[in-house]
Amino acid sequence: MSNVLRIRLAAFGVLLICQFFTASAQAQNQPKPDWSLADMPSQKGRIFLVTGGTSGMGYEDAKALAAAGAQVVIAARNPERGQEAIDQIKQEVPDAQVTFEPFDLADLSSVRALGQRLNTSLPRLDGLINNAAIMAPPERGVSAEGIELQFAINYAGHFVLTAELLPLLRNSDSPRVVTLSSIAAHLGSINFDDLHSTQDYEPMTAYAQSKLADLMFSFELQRRSDAAGWGIQSMAAHPGVAVTELVARGPGLDSEQGQRWAAGREHYQTAAQGAIPTLYAATAPQAQGGAYYGPTGEREVNGPLGLATIPPAANDAEVAARLWTITEEMTGTHYP
C-alpha cells in the first residue's frame, strides 16, 4: 500500500471518528422532544425579566415562570396592557409574583432608565428573556437614535438592555440570557454597508437581518462570558411559526404576507407551544450555553423540541465580533 493511500485512509478514519463524536455529543445534548411545562423544575426564589411579556409568547413565558414560583418582571411599552397581562396571569396563578416595568426598546434612554431602576430595586437577575420584537412593518421606521426600527427593537435595544443588567446577572449563581431568533434568520445577512436600510428598505430582509443579529449576539455573548468569567449561560431559541400578534402589528393581516400566514394558520404553533423552546432554555438543568433551541418538524415550523438548525452565517465568529464592536459604537454602550 502506498504512503499516499495510507495517509488518505488515516485522514478518512479521523474524519469518521470526529463525525461519530460530534453526532454523539449532539445526541447527548438534545432536549427531551416532549419536554413540557410539567418538566420545568421549581423556579421558586428565582427572578426573571421578560421583554414584550404583555402578549404572545412573552406572556406565556411570564405566566409559566410565575406558575413555577419565580418572581417575574414584564417589561414592555404599554402600562395598560401590562396591567391586563398581570390581571390575566393572577386569574390563573393567584399567588403569582409578577410586576410590570414600562420601557421602549426603540429609545435607548428608556432602556437605560429601566436598567437603572432594576439595578436599584432587584438583588440579582437569574434570567433575562430578550423576547420583544416587531416584524416587517411596510414602511421604514427609525428609533430615537436613528437606527432602523426592526434592528433597534429586535436586536440593538436588547444588546443595550443586557449590558445594563449585566451586574444583576452576575449576582446570580446561575444566570441565563435567552434571546429570541427566528427561522427567518436563515434568510438574513449582516449588511455592514447598509445596516439601517437607508439605501433600500425591504421589510422581510430587514427583519431577517435583525433576527440573524440576535442569534449572533447570543453566541458572541457566550464566547465573551466564557472569556471574561461572567458565568452567564447565553442561549437562543425560536418558536417556529406561532400564532401571535406579530403579523397583525407588522405587515398587517390584509397584506400578501398576512394572507399567506392566515392560509397556513392551522399548521402553526400556539403561542404556548411556541414558548416551549424559550422556557426550556431558561429553566431546564440540561440546557447548555451556546445552544439554539426550537421545534424540529418540517422546516422547523412546528414539531417536537430539539436543537434548531443554525444558519451558517450565524457561526461566523469574525463577523459576530465585528457586529458587536459596531453595535457598541452605534449605541454608545460598551461591555466590560
What residues does 99 pair with on adjacent strands?
A: 73
Among 224, 230, 223, 213, which Cα is nearest to 166's?
Answer: 230
In the numeric block, the cell 426603540 is attached to 106
CA atoms of 128 and 162, how far apart (whole Å): 8
Element (H, E) at 29: helix 3-29
CA atoms of 111 and 160, how far apart (whole Å): 7
The answer to whether the CB of 129 falls within 8 A of the CB of 73 is no
Element (H, E) at 218: helix 203-228
Cβ atoms within 10 Å of 77's Cβ, excluding its own: 17
What residues does 234 pair with on adjacent strands?
A: 177
Please pick, among 59, 155, 201, 207, the residue that the annotation labels catalytic. 207
Instruction: Describe the crossing of helices 157-164 and 317-331 by its angle, rounded to 10 degrees.
Output: 80
Query: How many residues are recorded in the chain?
Result: 336
DSSP 293: E
Lookup: cell for 44: 421558586
CA atoms of 293 and 16, how far apart (whole Å): 26
- Concerning whether 335 is annotated as a catalytic residue, the answer is no
Degrees, nearest 5: CA angle 170-176-177: 100
Amino acid occupying residue 7: I
- Which residues are catalytic, by number? 207
